[in-house]
Every structure is written in structure tokens, then in C-alpha cells.
Amino acid sequence: MRTLFVIALLVLLCAFSSLISATTLTVNVSRNYKQAEIVLASNSQLVFTYPENSPTSFVLRSLNYSVAFSVANVPRDSEVFQRFQAYLRSAYSNITLENLSVSFSLHALGNSTELVVSKSVVFSGYATGIFNRTRQTIIGNFAWKSFVIKGPLEIDFEDERFDINSANFMLMAPLLHKGITQFLPLEDLQGTSTINLSSLNTPISEWKRTYDPSTNTTTFSKSVQSVTALNLSLSVNGNVYALRLTYDPSAEISVPGYAIAQGNEIVITKPQSMIDLDLSASIAIALVLIGIGALLYLRRMR
């Protein structure tokens, strides 16, 4: 029971730790700027280490649990669709989610010294309303890029409900599969989200910008070095138990054309070379018109 208490303590500390989500956001804007493909991958990994030959090792060394599924075209009136769109609109009210698909996988594998739980949630869909187009400019608002989904986010699959967001389900599912229930403080983990884009909250104007003239595409990207969100250890009678959570966030937004960023807005413009060409063309046209005008004037003078 002492080691069970240790696990409970570590899990409880996890609930008050930094958010543990690892996210990759990829946005590809269509050529007409009317819609954008949004792919959000949230990957979380928990590593719980314990002494070999301990009671904890005896219980967890044979744990091997996996679950995976995909739901294409999530119903628009479902909790997942409505909340995903609500969090997008919390930062930019004009964005509209047109469709959404979700893939989920959870795998837990234990051995004599550690239990590794890996979770992946992938959202993919198309959104409209990001860009405003006038005669002079095309401007897209990407303030929604750094949203966080809070609390449980449940989805139905084959008559079962899965919480694809909270760390609660991430830990509960494999341990319940093993029959371990008496020490899990489930309520304390409900508020710990794993779908978190807060690491992308810096303005896009501070991201790396790359323009590819061969495809006429501008890409804005950001990556953060691997971060250890939680690294706890506890010694009980000389036996060390540890819990570690890591993430490695990144994002990439690709838009057609030559674009620059102003804060969280992306403005489609022209490269300086094209501006120079336009200016040269305008001057050439002006010279031609002057020449034609001069010829007509001289012709009338004769």
C-alpha cells in the first residue's frame, strides 16, 4: 500500500503541474483564400519510473494496453465539433469550422522499471472566414492559433465515450484495464488538458518567415526546443519513484503568394521585384502614351 500511495501522490502532483500537451499545428490556405485546411496533432507522453523488484514493478511490468480509432466527419451538433469551433471563435469570431475529423490513439507499456503512456489526438478539418479581401489587400487573422481546450472533451465511438483531452483518461484507461482503481485521484486530473496551443501565443510577425518563389508560397513557422513540463522524484525507504512529462511544440502556416505578418495578421502583398516590374511597366506605358500624344500633336501641327 505504501507504493500505491506514492503513485497516488505523483499523480496528484501532476494535476497541478504545467500543461503537458505537445502540439503540432499545420495550416494550409487555399489559392483563393476562401478556406484553410487545419491539422492539429496533440501528442503527450507520460513516463513513470519505479524501482525494479518493487511491488509497483510487479503490478505494472506486464501492462500492455492500446486503443485507437478514427471518426470521419464528426457531426456538427456534437460536443467535439461545437467546442472546437467555440475555442477557435474565442480568439477570432469570423472563423467558421466547415468539417472536422478526429483520430485518437492511446498506448501504455510497462516493464520492470517504467510505465510509458503515449497519447495522440489529431484533428483535421477545413475552416472559412479567416481572410478578408478588398480591392487593395488580402488580410488573414490567425489570432485563433493559440487556443487551449479546457476540461474533458468526450467523443462517441462504437457505443463508448472517450475523453480525448484530459490527463485523467490518459492515466485512467490503462490502469483500469489492469484492475488498478483504489489509488487513482481521478477528479484531480480532470482539469489537466493535453490539447494546448499556448506555446504558439507569440505574434506570427515574430515567427520564422520563408518565401518560395518557385511555388509562390509564404510559410510562417515556429518551433520550441523539447521542454520537460514535469520532472518529479520521490524517495521512499531509499527507493526512488519519478514522473516525467515532455513535449515538443511546433507550428507551420502556409499561404499562397508573397505575404508578410503584422502581429497575428498575415497580409498578402507582392515581392519587391514584382513591385519594381509594375513600376517599370507603368513608366513604360506612360512613355508610350507621351510618345503617342506627341505624334498626334505634331500631326495636327502639320
What is the rounded CA–CA span in Å between residue 164 and residue 175? 16
CA nearest to 161, candidates 93, 80, 233, 236: 80
What is the rounded CA–CA span in Å between residue 278 and residue 110? 65
CA nearest to 116, candidates 36, 176, 49: 49
154, 275: one domain: no
204, 275: one domain: no
pLDDT digits (tens, 9 = 90+) for 208-264: 999 999 999 999 999 977 766 667 778 888 888 877 767 777 899 999 999 999 999
pLDDT digits (tens, 9 = 90+) for 57-93: 998 899 999 999 999 999 999 999 999 999 999 999 9
- pLDDT value, residue 299: 55
221, 291: one domain: no
302, 217: one domain: no
256, 299: one domain: no
185, 201: one domain: yes
Cell 476540461 appears where? 151
pLDDT surpasses 50 at 3:
no
pLDDT surpasses 90 at 103:
yes
- pLDDT value, residue 93: 94
211, 280: one domain: no
Q: Which domain holds residue 135?
A: 2-269
The answer to whether the CB of 218 falls within 8 A of the CB of 204 is no
216, 114: one domain: yes
Phi-psi region of 199 (alpha: psi -120 to 50; beta: other; left: phi over 0): alpha
207, 290: one domain: no
- pLDDT value, residue 278: 41
| Mean pLDDT computed over every residue of the chain | 80
What SS3 class is residue 174?
helix
pLDDT surpasses 90 at 149:
no
pLDDT surpasses 60 at 206:
yes
- In which band, very low, low, confident or very high, does the pLDDT at 157 lie, cut at 50, 70 and 90? confident
Among 71-75, 128-132, 149-153, the range scoring the smallest mean pLDDT is 149-153
Sequence-distant (6+) residues with CB within 8 A of 222 are 200, 202, 207, 208, 250, 251
The answer to whether the CB of 185 falls within 8 A of the CB of 179 is no
pLDDT digits (tens, 9 = 90+) for 288-302: 455 555 555 555 555
94, 220: one domain: yes
How many structural domains comprise the chain?
A: 2
pLDDT, mean of residues 44-53: 86
42, 31: one domain: yes
- pLDDT value, residue 134: 82
- pLDDT value, residue 218: 98
- pLDDT value, residue 145: 93
Residue with the bigger pLDDT between 19 and 47: it is 47
47, 156: one domain: yes
- pLDDT value, residue 178: 78
- Supply 169's cell numbers: 483518461
Q: Work out the burial of residue 273: count CB atoms within 10 Å of its CB; fewer than 13 is exposed, 13-18 middle, 19 or more buried.
A: exposed
